[in-house]
């Protein structure tokens, strides 16, 4: 029996109380608030279960088992663990006293089949024109920031959008905890290392990013930007590494840009605020906002917004290209929305003509200049 098979068997033994949820494809998240209080997320809604671990020691033992297999430590000195299960599901654990009411364990399930943008359209999370527009923007090597709250599906959307990257490109993927699965054959995956008990062996996302620049990437994908690596990412975007994709926690496109500006100021490079803001405005072409609706648990792209520089007051200029409007409900209470064009053209509307991609335009004709004799709208 190989090491991976032993790991799988060991994990299934220690996590036996929640195995039914791990094996249930309709469950997307498992949340253990303490050994006898377990919630799940199913189809976007939270449900309390009757499942329980025999004791807190049994729950802690399960967490230590996972940590041991992935080569990370969780203890009173290092009470937080980020790891993944053999099937790729993401694991986050916190021990007391940081966890005040018991040991916390959260598992975000890894879907066996990665979603595509076609799946987003089928689930009414995206419209057909918006899907085409995003695919074309990826092909045009636009830098795209996916914004949303926790559990909105940012990583899933990023993975789906990455399918539009030409397969002949060399792609470097950087993540704190590996989740992304790209379909292109030439992909390199880098994962941060948290170090041992003495702090040795630490490799941060920022360090990985700086190394990725030396690996001759055609594209760099950062699973989530969280800290000072934001500045390095922005500067790479501005210096020839176009076509980057990343995600960020924010509740609106404007908030996403402000947060990215703030994160870039967290680097060890001392730059003025207005410089950080100018770099964000120049580097990011599009912000894709995705939200989760608590009424029915659905996740929908609610805005696709272009960043158009800074105004005279040094504020971000944003132009909504697509906005979602609720249209009603289905017979089973699901929200129906339409992500429709606003009538605005992107500033890069001529790129589709200049890069010879007009043959791919089907449902987004109003957004592009397709005829060389026309100057377009913006």
Q: Which of 24, 20, 26 is nearest to 51 (CA)?
A: 20
Give the separation between CA 130 and CA 121, rounded to whole angstroms: 9
Lowest mean pLDDT among 7-11, 36-40, 344-348: 7-11
Cross-strand partners of 30: 40, 107
Percent of the chain having pLDDT more than 90?
70
Sign of CA dihedral 134, 334, 21, 96: positive
Instruction: Enter the DSSP assignment of 17.
Output: G
Q: What is the pLDDT of residue 376?
A: 46
φ and ψ at residue 24, rounded to 5 degrees: -95, 115
Supply angle C-alpha 48, 52, 57, rounded to 5: 135
pLDDT of 86 strictly over 90 = no
Helices (H) and strands (E) in the chain, counts: 11, 17
Q: What is the pLDDT of residue 375?
A: 52
Average pLDDT, the chain: 91
CATH topology of domain 3-108: Beta-Lactamase (3.30.450)
- Report yes or no: 357 and 136 within 8 Å, Cβ to Cβ: yes
- Report yes or no: 357 and 138 within 8 Å, Cβ to Cβ: no
Give the separation between CA 255 and CA 275, rounded to whole angstroms: 18
N residues, the chain: 378
Query: What DSSP letter does each residue of 37-93 carry, written as one string?
Result: EEEEEETTEEEE-S---S-HHHHHHHHHHHHHHHT---SSSS-EEEEE-TT--EEEE
CATH class of 117-367: alpha beta
- Report yes or no: 169 and 311 within 8 Å, Cβ to Cβ: no
Q: What is the pLDDT of residue 179?
A: 84
What pLDDT digit, counting tens, does each position of 136-174 carry? 999 999 999 999 998 899 999 999 999 999 999 999 999
Average pLDDT over residues 161-189: 93
Average pLDDT over residues 283-294: 95
Looking from the CA of 110 toward its CB, the CA atoms found within 13 Å total 15
Cis status of the peptide bond prior to 97, with omega within 30 of 0: yes
Q: How confident is the model at residue 194 (pLDDT cuts 50, 70, 90)?
A: confident
Give the separation between CA 337 and CA 152, rounded to whole angstroms: 16
Average pLDDT over residues 41-59: 94
Contacts of 168 (CB under 8 A, 6+ apart): 186
φ and ψ at residue 301, rounded to 5 degrees: -75, 120
Supply angle C-alpha 166, 140, 128, rounded to 5: 85
Q: How many CB atoms lie within 10 A of CB 259?
A: 20
Q: Which of 327, 326, 290 is nearest to 305 (CA)?
A: 290
Domain ranges of the chain: 3-108, 117-367
What pLDDT digit, counting tens, does each position of 293-351 carry? 988 889 999 999 999 999 999 999 999 999 999 888 888 888 989 999 999 999 999 99
Q: What is the pLDDT of residue 72?
A: 82
- Report yes or no: 280 and 234 within 8 Å, Cβ to Cβ: yes
Percent of the chain having pLDDT more than 70?
97
pLDDT of 378 strictly over 80 = no
Q: What is the pLDDT of residue 159?
A: 95
Supply angle C-alpha 202, 208, 214, rounded to 5: 135
Give the separation between CA 63 and CA 93, rounded to whole angstroms: 7
Q: Helix, strand, or coil here: 225? A: coil
State which H helix or E strand residue 327 sits in.
strand 316-329
Average pLDDT over residues 364-372: 91
Instruction: Enter the DSSP assignment of 345.
Output: P
Q: How confident is the model at residue 263 (pLDDT cuts 50, 70, 90)?
A: very high
Average pLDDT over residues 107-120: 87
**Residue 156 corresponds to which tokens in the numbers above?**
């899933």
Q: What is the pLDDT of residue 199?
A: 67
Q: Which of 107, 79, 124 is nearest to 177 (CA)?
A: 107
């Amino acid at each position: 029996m190989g090491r991976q098979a032993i790991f799988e068997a060991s994990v299934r033994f220690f996590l036996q109380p929640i195995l039914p949820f791990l094996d249930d494809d309709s469950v997307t998240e498992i949340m253990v608030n303490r050994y006898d209080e377990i919630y799940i997320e199913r189809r976007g809604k939270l449900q309390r279960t009757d499942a329980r671990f025999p004791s807190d020691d049994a729950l802690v033992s399960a967490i230590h088992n996972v940590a041991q297999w992935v080569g990370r430590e969780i203890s009173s000195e290092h009470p937080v663990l980020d790891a993944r299960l053999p099937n790729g599901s993401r694991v986050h654990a916190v021990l007391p006293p940081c966890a005040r009411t018991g040991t916390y364990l959260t598992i975000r399930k890894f879907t066996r089949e990665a979603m595509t943008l076609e799946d987003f359209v089928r689930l009414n999370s995206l419209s057909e024109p918006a899907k085409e527009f995003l695919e074309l923007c990826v092909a045009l090597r636009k830098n795209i920031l996916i914004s949303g709250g926790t559990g909105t599906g940012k990583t899933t959307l990023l993975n789906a959008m990455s399918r539009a990257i030409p397969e002949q490109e060399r792609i470097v993927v950087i993540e704190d905890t590996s989740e992304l699965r790209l379909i292109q054959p030439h992909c390199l995956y880098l994962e941060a290392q948290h170090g041992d008990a003495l702090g040795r062996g630490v490799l941060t996302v920022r360090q990985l990013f700086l190394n990725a620049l030396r690996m001759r990437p055609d594209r760099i994908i950062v699973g989530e930007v969280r800290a000072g690596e934001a500045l390095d990412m922005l500067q790479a975007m501005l210096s020839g590494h176009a076509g980057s994709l990343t995600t960020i926690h924010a509740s609106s496109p404007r908030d996403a840009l402000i947060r990215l500006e703030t994160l870039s100021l967290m680097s060890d490079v001392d730059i003025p605020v207005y410089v950080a803001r100018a770099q964000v405005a120049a580097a990011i072409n599009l912000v894709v906002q995705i939200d989760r609706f608590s009424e029915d648990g659905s996740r929908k792209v609610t805005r696709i917004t272009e960043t158009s520089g800074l105004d005279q007051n040094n504020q971000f200029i944003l132009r909504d290209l697509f906005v979602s409007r609720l249209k009603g409900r289905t017979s089973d209470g699901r929200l129906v929305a339409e992500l429709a064009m606003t009538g605005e053209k992107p500033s890069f509307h001529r790129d589709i003509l200049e890069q010879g991609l007009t043959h791919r335009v089907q449902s987004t004709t109003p957004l592009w200049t397709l005829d060389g004799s026309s100057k377009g709208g913006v």
